[in-house]
């Protein structure tokens, strides 16, 4: 069963990013002022999620999204579903004024159907590819050079308030002055 009820805008923003990237199938480069460069991007081959150690799901982009578990195909579905869900999550995030946490039953059911049980994979599971935690891990290919690369990104949302640059997390945070 999914642990998806009562998530905040920052957590839902991670799911919006997941759906949007699956829909767009590319991640754009930005200039020094964070303006999207429309002609410079990396094609997304797949998005990698590992909520439970040893269970790596890959969501391969295309007109038909292919979902694999440890290399074996477990589901194929139409990519238009990700476009629809991205729009629904965006609306949910932007229209929930004053609510600190919220959920959507249709999105929750869709996430469960595509093997996502936690919006945010636990931090210790997200650092298999890189030191430190990553909210989303992409397998990309540069359309200009053909170079493939696995890249991890942290997601930050400033929809209602400025996002924190640094998240303190118990034993993992250590400052000395």
Output the pLDDT for position 1: 45
Query: In 3-state terms, what secondary structure has residue 90?
Result: helix
pLDDT above 70 covers a percentage of the chain that reads: 76
| Phi/psi at 11 (5° precision) | -70, -40
Q: Which residues of 31-42 are buried (b: 16+ CB within 10 A; e: fewer)?
A: eeeeeeeeeebb
- Residue 53 C-beta-side C-alpha neighbours within 13 Å: 5
For residue range 88-138, what is the model confidence (pLDDT) as tens digits?
Answer: 999 988 887 777 777 889 999 999 999 999 887 554 344 455 455 678 899
| Angle, CA 17 vertex, CA 15 and CA 22 arms, to 5° | 100
148 has a pLDDT exceeding 90: yes
- Nearest to 43, CA basis, from 138, 153, 136: 138
Residue with tokens 């999207």: 36
Q: What is the pTM of this model?
A: 0.81
162: pLDDT confidence band, cut at 50, 70 and 90?
low
The residue that leads in pLDDT, 176 or 149, is 149
Output the pLDDT for position 127: 46
Which residues share a beta bridge with 51? Answer: none
Contact in structure between 66 and 45 (CB atoms under 8 Å): no
Output the pLDDT for position 143: 86
Q: Where are the domains of the chain?
A: 9-167
């Amino acid at each position: 069963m999914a642990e998806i009820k009562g998530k905040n805008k920052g957590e839902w923003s991670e799911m919006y990013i997941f759906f949007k990237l699956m829909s767009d199938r590319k991640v754009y480069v930005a200039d020094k002022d964070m303006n999207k460069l429309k002609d410079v991007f990396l094609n997304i081959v797949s998005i990698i999620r590992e909520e439970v150690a040893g269970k790596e799901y890959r969501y391969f982009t295309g007109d038909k999204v292919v979902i694999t578990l440890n290399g074996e195909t477990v589901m194929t579905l139409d990519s238009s579903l990700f476009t629809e869900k991205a729009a629904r999550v965006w609306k949910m995030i932007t229209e929930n004024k004053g609510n600190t946490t919220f959920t959507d039953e249709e999105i929750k059911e869709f996430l469960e159907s595509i093997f996502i049980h936690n919006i945010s994979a636990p931090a210790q599971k997200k650092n298999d590819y890189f030191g430190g935690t990553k909210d989303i891990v992409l397998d990309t290919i540069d359309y200009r050079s053909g170079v493939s690369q696995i890249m991890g990104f942290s997601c930050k949302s400033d929809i209602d308030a400025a996002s924190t640059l640094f998240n303190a997390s118990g034993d993992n945070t250590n400052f000395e002055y």
